[in-house]
Each structure stands twice: as C-alpha cells, then as structure tokens.
Amino acid sequence: MSKDERRVKHITPKTEDFSRWYIEIIQKSELADYAPMKGMMVIRPYGYAVWENIQRLLDQRIKATGHVNAYFPLFIPESFLQKEAEHVQGFSPEVAWVTMGGKEELEERLAVRPTSEAIIGHMYSKWVKSWRDLPVLINQWANIVRWEKVTRPFLRTTEFLWQEGHTCHETSEEAQTETLLILSLYKEFVETELAIPVISGIKSFREKFAGAQETYAIEALMSDGKALQMGTSHNLGQHFSKAFNIRFEDRNQNLQYVWQTSWGMTTRLIGAVIMSHGDDSGLKLPPRVAPIQVVIVPISMGNWKEDVLPAAQAIEEGLKKVGLRVLLDTREEFTPGWKFSEYEMRGVPLRIEIGPRDVKAGQAVLVRRDTREKMTLPLDAMASKVPGILEDIQASLFREAETFLRENTRQAGGYEEFKDVMDNQRGFVKSLWCGSDACEDKIKEDTMATIRVIPLELKSQAGPGACVCCGKEAKALAYFARAY
Amino acid sequence: MSKDERRVKHITPKTEDFSRWYIEIIQKSELADYAPMKGMMVIRPYGYAVWENIQRLLDQRIKATGHVNAYFPLFIPESFLQKEAEHVQGFSPEVAWVTMGGKEELEERLAVRPTSEAIIGHMYSKWVKSWRDLPVLINQWANIVRWEKVTRPFLRTTEFLWQEGHTCHETSEEAQTETLLILSLYKEFVETELAIPVISGIKSFREKFAGAQETYAIEALMSDGKALQMGTSHNLGQHFSKAFNIRFEDRNQNLQYVWQTSWGMTTRLIGAVIMSHGDDSGLKLPPRVAPIQVVIVPISMGNWKEDVLPAAQAIEEGLKKVGLRVLLDTREEFTPGWKFSEYEMRGVPLRIEIGPRDVKAGQAVLVRRDTREKMTLPLDAMASKVPGILEDIQASLFREAETFLRENTRQAGGYEEFKDVMDNQRGFVKSLWCGSDACEDKIKEDTMATIRVIPLELKSQAGPGACVCCGKEAKALAYFARAY
C-alpha cells in the first residue's frame, strides 16, 4: 500500500447501518479478517491481543476459585454424542464431520467438537471412583466448531475460541452452588474488565443448553438495542453422568451418579466490546483489555528527533515502569493527524501528544478516547496520574453502558405495548409470563423477541399477575429481547 | 478408588523396559491419559500445568523478539494445500478430512490443519502490499492434527498442541537471520527452562520440512540413547510466497515475492522432560516448569493440627510470598510415607517434611528429588534459602543431562564402527558424510539411524575426509542417531 492509500479510513456511521459499521470497524481496525472458507475468520494480532487479555483475566478468576486447566481431544466419536438424547438432537445439525484419515475412510465418523461434554464425560467415568475424587473442577481453553448457517465475525462463526468448564460433584446442591458461583464470576468479570453491565438469570426450557437440566446466563444489551448472550452456566444434573456412567462410591459406600455442571465464554466477548462501546470514529476499548492503553504521538516537525523524541521516550519508559501497555509511534511516513484518527479508530483509551513547545513547557497534552476531553499534564506527573485516568475511563465506559441499559429496559403489561416497544425501541422488555412454550413461541413469531433470562431475584416477585401474551396467571417475570 | 487401592504405585524399571516405564509414568503421575480414539490423548491437569509453564516462558521469548500472536482457522481447503507441490505430497497422507457439515456433503474437502503455511500464506497475500508492511512476525498457539500410524503420548499423537511462527521478510538475508534467531531462541529456552542440552544445526534434504528451502532443528538425546527432535525452524525461501502470490512493492517500487520462515515447538517437549530426567521412582521435573515446585508434608501424628500445621502453613505462606508454586498436603486419608512416594513419582523437585520435633527445634527437613539429599533448615531461613536450592536443582539436572549427552556422543570413522555403536550403544554418532541420498538411505536401512543435524559450526570442518558409508569425499560432518 502506498503512502497515499494509507489515508484515514472512512467508517459507515453506526446510526446509518449498524451491521455495516460493525463489520467495517473489525476490518479497518484489524481486529479480524474473513477467511476464505464460509463462516470462518482470522483473528488478527490486534484482536488476538484483546483475547489474550480476556484469557489472562478470566483464567485468573477460574483458577482462584479452585479450578485447573486440562486439554481434551478435538474429535468426538459419533456414538459418544448419541449417548445423551437431547444433546445429540441439539448439536448434530451443527457438526462438522471427519470421515477420512489420510487415504482411509473411517469406520466411525468423528465430530469436530461442538462442545465437549461427551468426550469429557467418558474420561470422567474412568477417573472418578470415590467421593475422595470429588469435586472435579476442570476447565479447558479450546477451539470449537459449529456449522452455522448465518455467521458474523466474533458473534457467530463456524470456528470460535472459548473456555469450557466441566465439573463433577457429590450432591445436587453442590452442583447448583457451582453453577451460580460461575454465573456470578462471569458477571463480575464482564462488568469489571469489559465495562459491560449485564443482567443474569435462568433460561427458559426452550432456550436452555441441549442436555442441561437448567441453563443460567448473563445477557448484555448492545447499542442497537439487541441482546447478546455473554456466557452460560449449566446445571447438568445427572443427565450426562447417567449417559456416560460416571459413578462414585459415596461416604456410605453406595454407588451414586455424580452431579455435573458446565459453563463457557467465547471470543464473542470481543464482539460485545465493539458493539457496547464503539462509536462513529471506531472502537473504544476498555483500558483493562486494550492491547495499547496509551499511545504517544510526538509532533514530528523541525528537529523533532532531538527536541521532542527524548521527552516522548521518557514518558514511554515511565508509563511502562508502572505496568502500562504503551506504544510510542515514531513512524515518519504518517502525519500526527493521521495517527490521531488511526488510534481513535483502534480505540486506544488515551493519547498523549507532545511537540517542541510542550517540551519547553515541561508538559504534554492528553486526549481521552471516550470523552475526547483534552488536558495538559506536567511531564513529571505522567507516571503518577495516567493510571488513575485509565481507571476513570474504564469506570466511565461502564457508567455510560449502564445508563444505556437502564434507559432501554422497559416494562410492558399489555401485549400491544410489548409489540410496540419491540418494533420501535427494542431493548429489554420486562413482562410477566405464564411459563408456557406456546406463549414463548407466539411472542417470538410476533416480535422476534425471545426470553433472555428470568432474573433469579425477580422470580419470587412474579405473582400475582397476568401473562403479557395470553393473560393467564403468570409464573415468572422475564426479560425479553431480540437477540444476536 | 478405596483407600486401600491408593497404595504407592509400582513402576516398571527404566532399564527393564523403557517404553513401558515411559507410559506408566505418564499414566500414574496423571500427566495424560489415553483417549478412546486411536492415537489421541487427554492432557490431564498435572500435564497441562507443565504445558502452561512452557507456554508462558516460551511466549515471553517469542514476544520479546518482536513477534505477536494471532489465530488462523482450523480448516484448510484441499486446493490450498495443493498449491505448494512438495507440501501437499508431504502432508496429504497425514490429513484428517472434514467432508460433511451438518447433513450436507461439502463441495470441497477441508483439511484439519496439519500445519498452517497454506492458510496463512493465503491471508498474507491479502495483507502484505508494501515494504512498509514488512517484516510480518506472527505466531499462533494452536492444535494440530496428523493422522499418524504409530503413536505414543506426547511424542507422536494424532492431535497435539504447538506454537507455529510464520514470518515474511523483504530479503533472503533477513529470512535467514530470523530462521537462525529462532533456532537459538529454541535452544536457549530448552536448555534454560527444561534443563535439556541440545545440539543444533541444519537438516539433510531428506529430513527437511515439506515445502521448506532449508530446515534447522534442535535435537536432544533421551536416556535410552535415542534422539528426539525438539523444535524446527524453517527457511521457506520464496516457495510459499510464489505458491500463494505474497508480493510487495519494494523500496524501488518493484513488485517482489516475500521471503518467509516458519517454526514450531510442540507438547512433545513434555515427553522430552519425562525421558531426559525421569528415573525408576518416576518423574523429575525441572523447577522452572514444575507445577508444584515444593510440596510440604506435615507428619500427621498426635495433635499435629495444633503442633505442626501452623508451622507448615507459615512455610507455605513464606514460600508463596517469594513467588514459588507450593502445595501443602494436609490430607489425612494418606500417610506421610505414601505422600513421599507419590510426590517423588510426580517429580516435585523439593519436599519439606515437618513433624512435632522439628517444630520444637524450629526447623524442617528438606529432601531433593534429584539427588535425594536431605538437609535440615531453620524455619526462618526457608523463604531466603529455598529459591536458591531450586535453582541448584535446575542447574544440576542440566549438568547431569549434559554429561549424558557428552558421554553418548561418539565419533565413528569407519562403517563397521558406526554400525557397532548404533547396535550396542546408540547415542549420537558424529561422522563424515558425502552428502548423497544414497548413503543416507543405506545408513538408515542398515542401522535405523538418520541424520539428525549437520551442526553449523562443524560444517566448515568437514573436509578433507571420507564419507563413513561410501568412502567418497565428504561434504559435511553430521550427527546420526536413531530417533523417535
């Protein structure tokens, strides 16, 4: 690409075409690119660096709660998938099948894992013998393949990366405690690190994981008013332990089936970061997961290498010393103005500009990506002040998203009002529901909205009242939304 | 498993049956287990924790030399593999093929990546336009599938984990510099972190990577006298850039093909750690990569929870504070003696035993796994002394392996001597070679030995002399060995 071609890239405004804005941002900021195979993507270094930060921060939490990592095979024999009836029904339409190894046709097809309950269940049946072996608290970081019809980078791709936890417990209560522990861990992680507020609760039967007893989820609201499932935590009950014969001798020497959970979050989280915080100028990355937290752009005029560069390098060093991820961009083939736009588009939380006059005045100019606020700071205050500014940006992104979530969560008592909100405003609609599949299906058909979650704390607040759809007695208060 | 079954596990002695010893150690120490699909394994938490340490320490080095991580798709269309003639010939017999997605047969088969040059080459042809885009220095951590006939846990499995670097450069010289930079990085990593000395050099044409111009490798000697390839660094020349049309406008505005390298190390490294350092009692893990560096075993007699436990916990805290990975095993269903054997078998570098009398004397007993040396240390000296002892263990494991390598590297001038060494002593044999495929093939047929590397520093020392096989003029001094 010649210098001229590297001009500031134009992005379709978010309000004009949200989907196009989303795709353009991903490609222009080099988070990801399309692979030549339908539905697959390449996570480019800038996007992968976000994922590495997510991995590190999530992995710490997973380990701090007593879990350990392991690695299970990519392939699952077809007969294993078939052992849990609901599971195979849910997943087999989405499976990529390996049928040949070298030049030979395989006797049994191998599924490229769409999730790992089946293969892990088989291994657990070998490993778990006694209550002394429990709990089993294992997580794995892996790639997953699901043959999806409609795909979109990060949100739904044929292959994606995730972590999947798979645990075994002595009692039903322990499994339930684990399920909810992870649900709250996920919520805390997403809110703290990604600055995205979420609602959490239980899924309806229609929306639960194929093979689970109950599925819990955290859901966020993207800035186009559609909901995005951010993570799920399943109480598997004894569904898989019975299918895979995972039994243990309990404290009274009786053979029992273990109680299990599974839970996961994926590279979809990167899509959520883009859609929650981004604007017409591009990404806004939360400082905690931004690959570059601070970019330093020296104003390259005159003798800048002598006048400005040493001061810029001193800032870089000082900030790196306090543990920040800093880039000093000294390239001469790009103008400072081009760099400003480029790093805005890439969502770098804080920019530091420094020119000859700044150096003389012993200061530099800081520009926040989120508010575009400019401030002047003495050079010797950088290392002490910048970390706090980044924390403030993180908090401010969260507050903004929280306000958006609050303003776009509405109550609807009647069905006409419900449909009206879904057609004109989207967002979450809180309504009473009778608990029937029929109403859930009708609402989906009429409005494209599904039950995202039934919040745990609101479950008891349900009655008395009438279902928003059929008017019969309500069993729960649910959050409805159109979703990705 | 009942308490009685949990007795100290017997391992076949190394000298009696090396292969069986290797497999038993892996299973009994719970590094890995066999998956139900032929040739596949599960990396259990203890083994995966070793891999996480390897990943972290290697990833640091890869990043410190300017590389960044990314993620490319698992599947590669068959037509892509076919673009580089040698590449497809080398890999197609080993490919697992996806032929179905959901219920539909695919128009084109997809290879489950046996290595990623082809898909990455395709993406690079989209990304690289100008000399300003160079060098491209990308690495990925990923799973790889090769349909192997004979498999062995960690050493050769149908699926394995690795990192693969893929770089593009402006000139042939830069690509060569990169190839050798990585070769030396690999050597330094393996010697420093895994305590395994290696020899390094160039591969013969027969042994090079399918599609490379030249392959460089590091090779270690396992304690049964067989060589193990530990890592490879390939100078790809313009083979793939021509096949995938990766061109850039150079500084003189001429279109040129880029010069490339690729390089990788795998979960095989864990196999090398087992085979290099282990003994009849089990694993000996180098402290730098050991999941547990120090295990504390309280002697559980009498009022041990009051008399001993607090002191044991104080040791644990003190050692964790100085950054060590410590386990305090307080389980009462196992005796101290059982624990001693168990952690020896698992290769924990240092054990600390503490009983009531020790507490009274203000001390504890330390036992090194490598030398079994016992020493008594005051409780208040733990945090200051133990890190040094672990460093000493690391250094001592390396020295021992280095002595073994030196003592098992022999010169052979004549072919009878060569064959005799291979039959009776194994190890590396340094011999002159004429450079012909014919001699390389004959040596392999007669002795099962292959050229492992031609050391760079010895290349110039080759002549004058005669090939160990045919007696014609030698072109190089090569290291031969039987290999895994």
Q: What is the pLDDT of residues A174-202, one digit of tens each?
A: 999 999 999 999 999 999 999 999 999 99
User: From the first residue on, what is the mean pLDDT of each consecutive set of 10 residues in chain B (484 residues)?
Assistant: 50 94 96 95 98 98 98 97 88 94 95 97 97 97 95 97 98 98 98 98 93 96 97 97 97 97 98 97 98 96 93 98 98 94 97 97 98 97 97 98 97 93 94 95 97 80 80 93 96
**Calpha distance A96→A92 (Å, rounded):** 9
pLDDT computed for residue A393 by the predictor: 98
Q: Which residue has the tokens 């072109």?
A: B475
**Tokens 């090398």, residue located:** B272
pLDDT of residue A5 exceeding 80, the answer is no
Q: Can you tell me the mean pLDDT for A126-136?
A: 97
Using a CB-CB distance cutoff of 8 angstroms, which residues of chain A are in contact with residue B36?
77, 80, 119, 122
Query: Which whole-number Å values give the CA distances from B35 to A77, A124, B39, B227, B445, in the listed order?
Result: 11, 11, 8, 26, 34
On chain B, the residues whose CB falls within 8 A of the CB of A75 are 37, 40, 96, 145, 159
Chain B, nearest residue to A47 by Cα: B70
Tokens 């005051």 appear where?
B378
Confidence of residue A301 (pLDDT cuts 50, 70, 90): confident
Distance from CA of B108 to the nearest CA of A (A): 10
Distance from CA of A414 to the nearest CA of B (A): 41
pLDDT computed for residue A413 by the predictor: 84
Higher pLDDT, A221 or A3: A221
Torsional class of A380: left (φ above 0), alpha (ψ -120 to 50), beta (otherwise): alpha
Contact A328, A296 (CB under 8 A): yes
**With pLDDT > 90 as the criterion, what percentage of chain A qualifies?**
92
- Partners of residue A80 in chain B, C-beta under 8 Å: 36
Per the structure block, which two tokens stand in for A50?
Answer: 């976000």
pLDDT given at position B2: 39
How big is the A-B interface in CB pairs under 8 Å? 156
What is the average per-residue pLDDT within A135-160?
96
pLDDT score, position A266: 98
Q: Is the pLDDT of residue A71 over 70?
A: yes
Give the helix/strand (H/E) hosting B96: strand B96-101
Nearest to A213 by CA among A148, A162, A169, A160: A169
The residue of chain A nearest to residue B134, with distances taken between CA atoms, is A1
Lowest mean pLDDT among A20-29, A211-220, B6-15, B78-87: B6-15
Nearest CA in chain B to A27: B127
- ipTM, interface predicted TM-score of the complex: 0.96
Residues A281, B371: Cα–Cα separation, whole Å:
63
Instruction: Tell me the C-alpha distance between B36 and B22, whole Å.
Output: 20
Please state, in angstroms and rounded to a whole number, the distance separating the CA atoms of residues A222 and A228: 7
Nearest CA in chain A to B88: A102
Sorted by sequence, the CB contacts under 8 Å of residue A155 that are 6+ apart come out as A228, A268, A271, A484
State pTM to two decimals. Answer: 0.96
Question: At A300, is the pLDDT very low, low, confident or very high (cuts 50, 70, 90)?
Answer: confident
How many angstroms separate the CA atoms of A443 and A439, rounded? 6
In this predicted structure, what is the pLDDT of residue B3? 43
Which of B68, B94, B142 lies at the smallest CB-CB distance from A102?
B94
For A144, which residue in chain B has the nearest alpha carbon? B74
DSSP string of A74-100? Answer: SEEEHHHHTTSHHHHHHHGGG-EEEEE
Q: Are A165 and A138 spatial neighbours (Cβ–Cβ below 8 Å)?
A: yes
**Is residue A101 scored above 80 in pLDDT?**
yes
CB–CB contact A42 B123 (8 Å): yes
> Does residue A1 register a pLDDT over 50?
no
Select from B51, B89, B97, B149 the residue whose CB has the most chain A CBs within 10 Å, as the one to mutate to test that interface. B97
| Cβ atoms B427, B445 nearer than 8 A | no
Interface-testing mutation among A42, A79, A148, with chain B (most B C-beta atoms within 10 A) = A42
A372 Cβ neighbours under 8 A, 6+ residues apart: none
Output the pLDDT for position B6.
46
Asked whether the CA dihedral A186, A188, A194, A198 is positive or negative, the reply is positive
Could you tell me the domains of chain B?
3-277 (3.30.930.10), 294-390 (3.40.50.800), 409-481 (3.30.110.30)
Residue A61: the pLDDT is 98
Three-point CA angle B340, B344, B350, nearest 5°: 85
Contacts with A159 from chain B: Cβ below 8 Å: 73-75
